[in-house]
Amino acid sequence: MKKKILIVGGGTAGTMTANNLAKKLMPEIDRDELEITLISNSKYHYYKPGAMYVAFGKSEGYEFVRDQRALLMSEINFEVEEATEISTNGNFVKTKKGKKFDYDFLVLATGCEVAPERIPGLSEAGDWFYTYEGATKLAKKFHDIKKGRVLVTVNFPKTPNIPHQCGIAPVETTMMLHDFLTERGVRDDIEIIYTYPTVAQSVTNGLFMQEPTSNVLPSIFDSLGVKHQSGFTLSKVDAKKKVAISAEGEEIEFDILMSTPPFTATKFIRESGISQALDDEGWLPTDKETLKVKGLDNVYTLGDTVDLPVSKAGGTVHNQTDVVADNIASELRHGYTSESYDGLVIAIAQMGLSCGMPLWYNYDKDVAPTPCSKLGSFVRKGFNKGIYWAAARGMV
Amino acid sequence: MSEKVEVLKTKEMQELEAKMTMLIQTGRIDNLIDLMALISDNIEMTTSPMVEKMIHTVDNLASAGFITDNAVRYAKRETAKNEVPSLFGILKLMGDEDTRKGLSFMLNLTKGIGKQL
């Protein structure tokens, strides 16, 4: 009987995994022994990191949106369906329209979403660049501001040792903001304050979630005239007075609050009953090596949904997807997994509008900060506007 | 070079110096310096809009390659699976929506090429 692989989620993780699986399992597809289906709640595919450039007027946004179908190999069935229910005993997923998708192997790749409502006042007074709508709103404010203060705040999940989406993004955007305001000729009249919470994944009282980078950031920020402060865990925002209040009891006034808000897994995953993450955050308990959901032998997960101590970013997914595809292919053919994820994350951070810093790390080794360069920035921009789509299609 | 500095040199540094000396003596170091200068000049003279335009071209080629690769694989699989269709079979194939979509694309592609000739 034909085997069925079901992938839920049409973002970077779902798309790359579907294409990689189709490539690896082409002999089985040719023999009509296997069916791969991807379901997504949108007919469009969004490249999320592009929103960061929209916030500084360096992209319009449409360049980062494509038809999901155009990114999938023709062997993959694609349906626009919103998953609402999962039965790990019955091996099926149900959707909002009432459709039932059976599976032999399931890949949960539904990502994460911003949850600003978890901090009182943040939805009303804060801004963030993690969605295109948010970035567009922020871009308008950055274009209009002539003097005042931009306050940067960062929040981490309550579940220990898990990062927010794209760990380096708050640093990147603070530096991009400095360059952008300098370009506009208003930097001298605008104060930028970068704050970081007391507890940040594995670091306490630092400026970044990994120690080596946390240690070099003060001198980098000093050289740009960016004020920095650790021990500021945003807990409340007075939207009327434009004051950010920390759990440590401090208050900072702002004109613009550029925030990394709380994140959670998607509603479907939070309501699936599979996660035991704190505060109903929904992160899936993931085996750090096989990338299977713990306790479920035929369910894999990757990307932003996992509870692993690695960045929730495309540079992580790119390495995880090969492990998931290899393991499913191996299980189908031999009955056992064959690959192991070592926590590898590879990316290029946009340190300002025209400087890029290559970075890589894994479970055992933190990022070693290196000088950023113009060439690095070109590679990053080239990836954003072109190479990404080839990577999503499983070509790179 | 003083004797003291000479002693402090590591083995690796001595090996590197020997290799560099050879490159200098044979005049080949000039070519390498020229190459480094060329790479450096290219980085200096490249702008973000240039990178975006170049990558757009690469993306177009990759997209065309992806579509063609998918279509050829599908066609090969279908051809291997089915008998060679009769004239009626071909007409039946034309009734399929995807076939008509592909045909329409090919005809418009032909028209697009014609417009440029």
Per-residue model confidence as pLDDT tens digits over A341-390: 999 999 999 999 999 999 999 999 999 999 999 999 999 999 999 999 99
C-alpha–C-alpha distance, residues A74 and A372, integer Å: 40
Q: What is the pLDDT of residue A108?
A: 98
Name every residue whose Cβ is closer than 8 Å to that of residue A117 and which is 6 or more positions away in sequence.
A123
Do residues A303 and A11 lie in contact, with contact meaning Cβ atoms separated by under 8 Å? yes
Q: What is the pLDDT of residue B85?
A: 93
Q: What is the pLDDT of residue B7?
A: 59
Q: Which residues of B touch A73 (CB under 8 A)?
A: 70
Per cent of chain B over pLDDT 70 is 93
DSSP secondary structure letters along A2-63? -EEEEEE--SHHHHHHHHHHHHHTHHHHHTT-EEEEEEES-SEEE-TTHHHHHTTTS--SGG
**pLDDT one-digit tens code per residue, A167-218:** 999 999 999 999 999 999 999 999 999 999 999 988 999 999 999 999 999 9
A259: closest CA among A194, A178, A188, A182?
A194
B83: pLDDT strictly greater than 80 = yes
Give the nearest chain A residue to B47 (CA atoms): A378
From A74, A378, A389, residue closest to B59, measured CB to CB:
A389
In this prediction the pTM is 0.92
**pLDDT one-digit tens code per residue, A268-306:** 999 999 999 999 999 999 999 999 999 999 999 999 999
C-alpha–C-alpha distance, residues A375 and A378, integer Å: 5
Residue matched to tokens 């479920």? A296
CA distances to A97, A131, A294, A311 from A307, in Å: 30, 22, 11, 10
C-alpha–C-alpha distance, residues A84 and A94, integer Å: 6
Q: Which residues of A touch B58 (CB under 8 A)?
A: 386-387
Residue matched to tokens 């305001």? A181
Q: Which residues of A touch B75 (CB under 8 A)?
A: none
Helix (H) or strand (E) holding A348: strand A345-350
Please tell me if residue B61 touches chain A, with a CB cutoff of 8 Å. Answer: no
Q: What is the pLDDT of residue B10?
A: 84
Sign of CA dihedral A272, A278, A281, A285: negative
A82: pLDDT strictly greater than 60 = yes
Pairing mode of beta strands A148-154, A190-195: parallel
Q: Which of B39, B41, B50, B51 to mutate to test the interface with A (most CBs of A within 10 A)?
A: B51
Q: Kindly state the tokens that stand for A136.
A: 């567009």
Rounded mean pLDDT, A91-95: 98
Whether the domain at A3-111+266-345+387-392 and the domain at A116-262 fall into the same CATH topology = yes
Provide the residue ranges of all domains of chain A, joining segments of one domain with +. 3-111+266-345+387-392, 116-262
Please give the ipTM for the structure prediction. 0.87
In chain A, DSSP finds a helix count (H) and a strand count (E) of 11, 24
Please tell me if residue A390 touches chain B, with a CB cutoff of 8 Å. Answer: yes
Per cent of chain A over pLDDT 90 is 99
With CB atoms and an 8 Å threshold, state whether B48 touches A395: no
Q: How confident is the model at residue A96 (pLDDT cuts 50, 70, 90)?
A: very high
Residue matched to tokens 């994944």? A201
Give the nearest chain B residue to A69 (CA atoms): B67
Q: Give the CA count within 13 Å in the CB-facing half-sphere of B21.
A: 6
DSSP secondary structure letters along B20-58? HHHHHHTTTHHHHHHHHHHHHHHHHH--HHHHHHHHHHH
Please tell me if residue B35 touches chain A, with a CB cutoff of 8 Å. Answer: no
Please tell me if residue A297 touches chain B, with a CB cutoff of 8 Å. Answer: no
Q: What is the pLDDT of residue A202?
A: 83
Q: What is the pLDDT of residue B5?
A: 59
Q: What is the pLDDT of residue A165?
A: 96
Do residues A56 and A135 lie in contact, with contact meaning Cβ atoms separated by under 8 Å? no
Q: Which residues of B touch A28 (CB under 8 A)?
A: none
Q: For domain A116-262, give the CATH superfamily.
A: FAD/NAD(P)-binding domain (3.50.50.60)
A11: closest CA among A81, A84, A109?
A109
| Helix boundaries (H) for A157-312 | 169-184, 211-224, 267-270
Interface of A with B in 6-45 (CB under 8 A): 30
Q: What is the pLDDT of residue A1?
A: 87
Mark A56-71 as b/e (b = at least 16 C-beta within 10 Å): bebbebebbebebeeb
Please tell me if residue A382 touches chain B, with a CB cutoff of 8 Å. Answer: yes
Q: What is the pLDDT of residue B8?
A: 66
Provide the residue ranges of all domains of chain B, joining segments of one domain with +. 11-45, 84-117
C-alpha–C-alpha distance, residues A243 and A121, integer Å: 10
Instruction: Classify domain A3-111+266-345+387-392 at the CATH class level.
Output: alpha beta
Please tell me if residue A65 touches chain B, with a CB cutoff of 8 Å. Answer: no
**pLDDT one-digit tens code per residue, A346-355:** 999 999 999 9
